[in-house]
Amino acid sequence: MQTIENHIEGDLSGILKKHTSWIASPFTRPGNKTAEIKDWNRKLDLMVEQAPKWDIGIVAGVPSWCIMLMERVIEKYNLKTIHDIWPNFQVYVHGGVFVQPYLKRLERVLGKKIHLLDTYLASEGYFAYQQSPERKGMQLLLNAGIFYEFVPFNKDYFDEHGILRDQHKALTLNEVEAGVDYALVISTNAGLWRYIIGDLVQFTDVDQREIKITGRIKQYLSLVGEHLSLDNINEALKLVSEEMDIEIQEFCVYVDTINQKHCWTIGVEKEVDSAKVNRLLDEKLAMLNDDYQAVRKYSLAEPVLKSVPTSYFYEFLEKLGKLGSQNKFPRVMNEHQATQWNSFLSEKQE
């Protein structure tokens, strides 16, 4: 957080911390001094040191970093589960990424069942939250100064690079359908006007105005018309993980335009048969997406896949100066990101 001319700027976590209710502030951890530390590793070390002094009931944040904190606490104090030190921990409010790949890892640090709740919070506004663990989607906030529109995410309205075409149609809430990918458009009383947020959403319940996030406009694959969404990718990886009994917590993919194929990297903690994972992933994607199945027969070459330790993904973020709870690993990489990633992997193998 810093003052620039007559206003304050900072990342979202800093803004939220500054505006935490005075009622909740005494019960919120970590305190301001720790929260203001910019060095993520130093901040994490301090939180681990302070953990025995806290009585935590609710944890909120991105899964990878929250679980990492709990793992560090367990290791530091030689515990079996996080409930040995925080017995009243009952609710985990997550957001920012698809939580499914992290569930097994989360279960390992828990001593008893907790409630999971999803949220949809961005720098531009607070859009939705899960009202109950039993609900599939998140309830749109309709009284928070935000007007929502929805552009169907298809080849008629978006090109192969995810750029909105001149001829398009934005739908209002009374025109949407369940199970359709929409690019979210917002207008807010903070000054944004018909702003494309970059996220893709689907309605899980049109009448109740409940949605789920299915991906990002720029994070989808369509090298030769396969139109793979991040939702397709996450679901395929989930199916592969279950069938092979492995945990794939981190992953990325990019396109090789010269050889017309997808290139995958997955993060795992044990030795896996990468060829088998690749074959299964290819099959699951074809099962989930008809376009992918069609182009794999004629124009899209067989994908390639390599497995690396999960820690590589966090080391890469740290090398880029992006280690911390406000940064997420790019799932679908552009050419520049892919070059950086491959260079990093080459250094690790030397």
Q: What is the pLDDT of residues 286-305, one digit of tens each?
A: 999 998 999 999 899 999 99
* Beta pairing, strands 91-94 & 58-61: parallel
Query: What's the rounded Cα separation, in Å, for the pair 89 and 309?
Result: 30
Domains of the chain, start order: 2-120 (no CATH), 142-216 (no CATH), 230-349 (3.30.300)
Tell me which of 158 and 277 has the higher pLDDT.
277
Residue pair 324/259 in contact (Cβ under 8 Å)? The answer is no
φ, ψ of residue 60 to 5 degrees: the values are: -135, 135
pLDDT for residue 97 is more than 80: no
Name the average pLDDT for the chain.
Answer: 90
pLDDT of 320 over the 70 cut: yes
Q: How far apart are CA 280 and CA 238, in angstroms?
A: 11
C-alpha closest to that of 119 among 57, 78, 61, 158: 61
- In eight-state DSSP terms, residue 36 is T
Yes or no: say if 217 and 196 are a contact pair by the CB < 8 Å rule: yes
pLDDT digits (tens, 9 = 90+) for 152-204: 998 888 877 778 888 888 999 999 999 999 999 999 998 999 999 989 999 99
pLDDT score at 41? 84
Mean pLDDT of 74-96: 95
Scanning the chain, the segments in alpha helix (DSSP H) are 12-18, 32-35, 40-50, 63-76, 103-109, 230-244, 274-288, 290-298, 311-319, 335-349
